[in-house]
Amino acid sequence: MMFTIFAAEATAYEMILMLSVMIVVGLFAGRFFERRKVPNLVAYVLIGIVLGAFLVLVHYRSMIDAVGIIINIGIGFISFSIGLELSFKNIKSRAKEVVTITFFQAIFAFLLTFIALYVFLLPFHIALILGALAIATEPGPILMITKRMRAHGPLTDTLVPLHGVEDAITILLFGITLAYATSVEEGLPFGVVEMLSGPILEIIFSIVIAIAIGYILVRIIRFLKYEDTEKDVVILISAVVAILVSVAIANTGLVLFNHHIHLSPILLPMSVGITFSNMSTDLAKHETERIMDLFSAPILIVFFTILGAELVLLLAGELETLNIVLILLVSLTYVVMRLIGKLSGSYVGSKIAKSTQNIQRYLGFCLLPQAQAAIGLAFYARTSLADTAYGTMILIVIVISTVVNGLIGPLGVRHALVQCNEADGQFCVIGPASHHHAHHSHEVKH
């Protein structure tokens, strides 16, 4: 019966059925993994791989296109949540340290990945693109694990603002390298103005639009009184609408004087969260975080599950036309050199910034996850290089990296937080329920 249902093209109701099953299976699989001290994100990615294989077997690949919008909304929620965590007054004294560390880990990841791929495997302009994509770090797993482990301390405080700076560097470098690669493939002249204008306009307009949306959200929630019985509903609806509007504008882009400006689907909703965090009261910010954490859980389960499914569907869809050996070699080189770049770059950067020993030793382990930011940019590269042999290859390499880092990245984050003693009770939140309750009751008494 199941095979009969899923053999046809996707309909809206069949998609709802599939999403419902994914959420329930993901929820319980995540809890099962957590009780064995493995982050639940690992379970979501593995379920996605199984789901992708199933969709291929029943010829139901159109499902992955149907849930593409869910992925975009998911990254909007993740980015907004990261923005909420970024308070300028809390990091004012550490701004120089954060910028220094971010710069060095980004440049190390970029250069090591680019050089290795160019020397051994790929043309100069394609190696440049993959080098730029190596900078991107996925904030979703990091945010989820730090919240579940109730992490707090210098390492955790460094992680949150780092993503905002890193995204700006990624967008700028990627925009420049893609413009160059496109001109090489098309045999067109390449100018510095064209190279710089696109990425810089993307960053500027994403931030300006985000400030406007964030300010409106602040004004709406500022009128609420704490004793208002419907305040949770108003906060939820206002925040969700702000995120959805920012996701829609980011993915549509902006037309100015007949010129289309690409906007960042990560930076825009993140900047909305940053604006709200720094312009609203501490109470409003706390209430918004609490409500959004509950609402975004099913979206995040679907988001990480789809990433696993994407790999299987991409490989199955273009298996005959792809050089699998080359893709595997590029993927292996990319993952290894990116890992070395993140670990060594964060160590050198934190050493120069005179950070604590814990940050020097363990920050790099928190920068391994890679998902929607890189995949979104890789899709953009695939579109720009659609008529070349490298567009789809770049996308598949990034999805493979996402799956690998989706499995090892969360383990690295947890390892770093535990080693730095920044997890509140260390394993209390992701261990058995009884342990968690015992710790919680102890905390309340104090």
Task: Report if residue 32 sits inside a domain.
Answer: no
Task: Report if residue 446 sits inside a domain.
Answer: no
Q: Which residues contact 283 (CB under 8 A, 6 or more apart)?
A: 226
Picking from 45, 172, 179, 200, the residue whose alpha carbon sits closest to that of residue 110 is 172
Looking only at the bridges linking them, the beta strands covering 259-261 and 254-256 are antiparallel
> Is residue 434 scored above 50 in pLDDT?
no
How much is the pLDDT for 30? 80
Task: Report if residue 29 sits inside a domain.
Answer: no
Once rounded to an integer, what is the mean pLDDT over residues 388-398? Answer: 82
Confidence grade of residue 246 (pLDDT, cut at 50, 70, 90) = very high
Tell me what the pLDDT averaged over the chain comes to.
Answer: 76
Higher-confidence residue of 213 and 446: namely: 213
Structure tokens of 336?
């290894």
Task: Report if residue 47 sits inside a domain.
Answer: no
* Distance, CA of 272 to CA of 217 (rounded, Å): 9
Task: Report if residue 49 sits inside a domain.
Answer: no
Higher-confidence residue of 42 and 181: namely: 181
Confidence grade of residue 375 (pLDDT, cut at 50, 70, 90) = confident
Phi and psi at 229, nearest 5°, equal: -70, -20
* Distance, CA of 46 to CA of 50 (rounded, Å): 6
Task: Report if residue 51 sits inside a domain.
Answer: no
How much is the pLDDT for 195? 60
Q: Is the pTM of this model over 0.75?
A: no
Report the CATH number at residue 278. Answer: 1.20.1530.20
Confidence grade of residue 131 (pLDDT, cut at 50, 70, 90) = very high
The boundaries of the domain holding residue 146 are 78-300+321-435
Task: Report if residue 8 sits inside a domain.
Answer: no
Contact of 280 with 222, CB cutoff 8 Å:
yes
Once rounded to an integer, what is the mean pLDDT over residues 26-42? Answer: 76
How much is the pLDDT for 67? 63
DSSP per-residue letters across 119-183: HHTS-HHHHHHHHHHTT---HHHHHHHHHHTT--SHHHHHHHHHHHHHHHHHHHHHHHHHHHHHH
The partner residues of 255 in beta bridges, in order of sequence, read 260
Name the amino acid, one letter, at 379. F
Give the H/E segment covering residue 260. Answer: strand 259-261
How much is the pLDDT for 443? 39
Higher-confidence residue of 209 and 388: namely: 209
Structure tokens of 374?
């890189």
Based on its alpha-carbon atoms, the radius of gyration of the chain, rounded to whole angstroms, reads: 22
How much is the pLDDT for 37? 67
> Is residue 167 scored above 90 in pLDDT?
no
Tokens 């990425």 — which residue?
199
How much is the pLDDT for 212? 93
The partner residues of 261 in beta bridges, in order of sequence, read 254
Task: Report if residue 234 sits inside a domain.
Answer: yes
Number of structural domains (the chain) is 1
Confidence grade of residue 329 (pLDDT, cut at 50, 70, 90) = very high
Give the H/E segment covering residue 328. Answer: helix 324-352
The partner residues of 256 in beta bridges, in order of sequence, read 259
* Distance, CA of 303 to CA of 413 (rounded, Å): 19
Any idea which of 126-140, 241-255, 364-378 has the lowest mean pLDDT?
Answer: 364-378
> Is residue 6 scored above 50 in pLDDT?
no
How much is the pLDDT for 155? 74
